[in-house]
């Protein structure tokens, strides 16, 4: 993560850089791997009929995600500023900075629902520690999915506790962001990310022994092209951008902290393959278990996969409480490193644009989050009548922002980089000003110039 001198220094010369290459990758993977990859991905697979979704998702990551990621890194490192500042600096007399502004707004909107789900994970962590998660409910079979469903409803849909947990997570993020203790987070992601992988491998090992394994693997892995619909495509596109933290300036911001000699290509490959790996492991964990416990079916809401199915798996393993604590602890950490990266976009914007001290910029961003997250949280359970365009506020933010704002932002950015940016910007960034032999420079430039805008525009049209 960023060095602490970022706190009070806004001049480009004093701009912070990441400490080490490992730290830089850990921080970027920390941003990418979060609720989107662990919680939202299996939900999307479930909603879109399984393997068809996985296939389109992988294609989106390879063909669109990696080039767009390289585009964001390049813009950030070339412009050395917040997403609006980058466009202002690179093309001063043009309105491209509006693209940066769109990113900042999208980040803000997404943060409000992201914080709510982070609050849920915190509540699950606390309930795992207290043991309440596994305490029987009157009238429901102990350890059954109906029992865990009842628990989920009581945790998530009650008017009070999710609001409180969301508020707590807001405070934790604010604290970390204010201290600018990026070193703490960097170190934490260095430890937590490998732990997350190790734990996931153990869970995969367990679920691959379950009787529903074959049905689960078939559902998740066996391609069925007939199931690919326009819905699948737009969901996969949104999910690819969401899970790689693309389309709203997060990686422009992080790119602006990359040192001059960071090889952007290698970094993008590491980040996207690790993210893809986490997503696939998650599918290998969830779907065999879903089939084993007979939880599949239209009525089963995707959100419940992590909050109901996983606890059910844990309850069938020795020491369920321990597994639940470990899993939800890691999920909280994964979510926090992502929250921070989303908030950072808006914070750096305010800090760089309006010259506010970092502390004040953090407060300016986080305080309005309190009412926003409260509305969002209430709309999922206690006050379902709160609606935007006929959808719950939460769903609206989740689907609209993800499926349209992120790809829309990425589309405009590709158009800019391909056709309007200063000549040689992308080439210079990908080759570190000619010091690096990067064979992929030309293919990536062509992808960004032609294929990405075309494909994204097509998918957006198909999806609407």
**SS3 state at 387:** strand
Structure tokens at 252: 């422009």
Return the number of the residue (32 or 426) whose C-beta is nearest ligand TRP: 32
CA distance 265 to 260: 13
Q: Which residues contact 195 (CB under 8 A, 6 or more apart)?
A: 330
Burial of residue 198, with CB atoms counted within 10 A of its CB: 0-12 exposed, 13-18 middle, 19 or more buried: exposed
Residue 35 touching ligand TRP (CB under 6 A) = yes
Answer for which of 32, 332, 366, 455 binds ligand TRP (CB under 6 A) is 32
Residue 238 touching ligand TRP (CB under 6 A) = no
Report the nearest approach of ligand TRP to the CB of residue 77 (Å). 18
Return the number of the residue (90 or 346) whose C-beta is nearest ligand TRP: 346
Residue 429 touching ligand TRP (CB under 6 A) = no
Residue 413 touching ligand TRP (CB under 6 A) = no
CA distance 441 to 419: 16
Return the number of the residue (35 or 177) whose C-beta is nearest ligand TRP: 35
Residue 239 touching ligand TRP (CB under 6 A) = no
- Does an H or E element contain 103, and which? helix 97-130
The answer to whether 70 and 430 have CB atoms below 8 angstroms apart is yes
Burial of residue 222, with CB atoms counted within 10 A of its CB: 0-12 exposed, 13-18 middle, 19 or more buried: exposed
Choose one: 89-97, 129-137, 242-250, 363-371; the region binding ligand TRP (CB under 6 A): 242-250
Report the nearest approach of ligand TRP to the CB of residue 342 (Å). 4
Answer for which of 24, 75, 342, 444 binds ligand TRP (CB under 6 A) is 342
CA-nearest of 335, 333, 339, 351 to 110 is 339
Residue 338 touching ligand TRP (CB under 6 A) = yes
CA distance 428 to 70: 12
Report the nearest approach of ligand TRP to the CB of residue 121 (Å). 11
Return the number of the residue (32 or 185) whose C-beta is nearest ligand TRP: 32
Answer for which of 113, 242, 293, 404 binds ligand TRP (CB under 6 A) is 242
Residue 403 touching ligand TRP (CB under 6 A) = no
DSSP 340-376: HHHHHHHHHHHHHHH---HHHHHHHHHTTHHHHHHHH
Instruction: Number of residues interacting with ligand TRP: please give it, by CB under 6 A.
Output: 18
Nearest residue to ligand TRP, by Cβ distance, number only: 36
Question: What is the number of H-type helices and E-type strands within the chain?
Answer: 24, 2
Residue 18, beta-bridge partner list? 2
Return the number of the residue (134 or 416) whose C-beta is nearest ligand TRP: 416
> CA dist 170 to 25, 135, 395, Å?
25, 28, 20
Residue 31 touching ligand TRP (CB under 6 A) = yes
Which residue's structure tokens are 């999307």?
A: 44
Residue 36 touching ligand TRP (CB under 6 A) = yes
Answer for which of 118, 127, 207, 243 binds ligand TRP (CB under 6 A) is 243
Chain residues 93-112 in contact with ligand TRP, contact rule CB under 6 A: 110
CA torsion angle for 171, 344, 279, 26 (degrees, to 10)?
-100
Report the nearest approach of ligand TRP to the CB of residue 63 (Å). 18
Answer for which of 37, 121, 161, 309 binds ligand TRP (CB under 6 A) is 37
Residue 34 touching ligand TRP (CB under 6 A) = yes
DSSP 211-247: TTHHHHHHHHHS--GGG--HHHHHHHHHHHHHHTT-S
Residue 250 touching ligand TRP (CB under 6 A) = yes
Report the nearest approach of ligand TRP to the CB of residue 114 (Å). 7
Residue 397 touching ligand TRP (CB under 6 A) = no
Write out the E strands in 332-460: 387-388, 391-392
Choose one: 26-34, 176-184, 225-233, 285-293; the region binding ligand TRP (CB under 6 A): 26-34
Backbone angles phi, psi at 388, to 5 degrees: -125, 125
Distance of CA 22 to the CA centre of its chain: 20
Report the nearest approach of ligand TRP to the CB of residue 141 (Å). 33
Return the number of the residue (149 or 274) whose C-beta is nearest ligand TRP: 274
The answer to whether 307 and 156 have CB atoms below 8 angstroms apart is yes
Could you list the residues that contact ligand TRP (CB under 6 A)? 31-32, 34-37, 110, 242-243, 245-248, 250, 338, 341-342, 406
């Amino acid at each position: 993560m960023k060095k602490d001198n970022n706190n009070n220094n806004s001049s480009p010369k004093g701009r912070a850089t990441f400490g080490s290459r490992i730290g830089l990758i850990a921080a970027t993977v920390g941003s990418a791997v979060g609720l989107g990859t662990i919680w939202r991905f299996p939900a999307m697979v479930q909603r879109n009929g399984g393997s068809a979704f996985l296939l389109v998702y992988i294609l989106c990551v390879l063909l669109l995600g990696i080039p767009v990621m390289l585009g964001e890194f390049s813009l950030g490192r070339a412009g050395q500023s917040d997403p609006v500042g980058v466009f202002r600096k690179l093309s001063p007399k043009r309105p491209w900075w509006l693209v940066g502004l769109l990113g900042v707004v999208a980040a803000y909107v997404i943060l409000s629902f992201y914080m709510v789900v982070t609050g849920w994970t915190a509540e699950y962590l606390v309930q795992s520690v207290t043991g309440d998660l596994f305490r029987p409910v009157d009238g429901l079979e102990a350890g059954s999915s109906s029992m865990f469903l009842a628990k989920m409803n009581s945790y998530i849909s009650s008017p009070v506790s999710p609001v409180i947990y969301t508020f707590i997570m807001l405070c934790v993020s604010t604290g970390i962001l204010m201290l600018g203790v990026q070193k703490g987070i960097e170190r934490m992601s260095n430890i937590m990310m490998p732990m997350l992988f190790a734990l996931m491998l153990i869970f995969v090992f367990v679920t691959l022994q379950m009787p529903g394994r074959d049905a689960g693997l078939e559902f998740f892995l066996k391609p069925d092209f007939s199931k690919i619909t326009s819905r699948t495509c737009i969901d996969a596109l949104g999910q690819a951008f969401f899970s790689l933290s693309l389309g709203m300036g997060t990686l422009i911001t992080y790119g602006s902290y990359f040192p001059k000699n960071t090889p952007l290509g290698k970094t993008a490959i590491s980040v996207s393959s690790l993210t893809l790996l986490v997503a696939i492991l998650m599918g290998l964990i969830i779907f065999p278990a879903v089939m084993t416990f007979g939880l599949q079916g239209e009525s089963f809401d995707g959100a419940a996969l992590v909050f109901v199915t996983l606890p059910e798996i844990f309850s069938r393993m020795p020491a369920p409480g321990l597994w639940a604590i470990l899993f939800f602890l890691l999920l909280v950490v994964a979510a926090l490193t992502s929250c921070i990266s989303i908030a950072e976009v808006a914070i750096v914007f305010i800090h760089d644009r309006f010259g506010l001290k970092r502390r004040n910029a953090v407060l300016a961003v986080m305080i309005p989050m309190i009412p926003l997250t409260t509305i969002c949280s209430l709309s999922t359970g206690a006050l379902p009548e709160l609606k935007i365009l006929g959808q719950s506020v939460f769903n609206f933010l989740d689907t609209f922002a993800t499926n349209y704002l992120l790809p829309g932002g990425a589309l405009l950015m590709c158009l800019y980089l391909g056709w309007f940016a200063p000549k040689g910007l992308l080439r210079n960034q990908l080759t570190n000003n000619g010091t690096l032999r990067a064979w992929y420079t030309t293919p990536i430039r062509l992808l960004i110039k032609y294929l990405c805008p075309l494909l994204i525009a097509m998918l957006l049209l198909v999806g609407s």
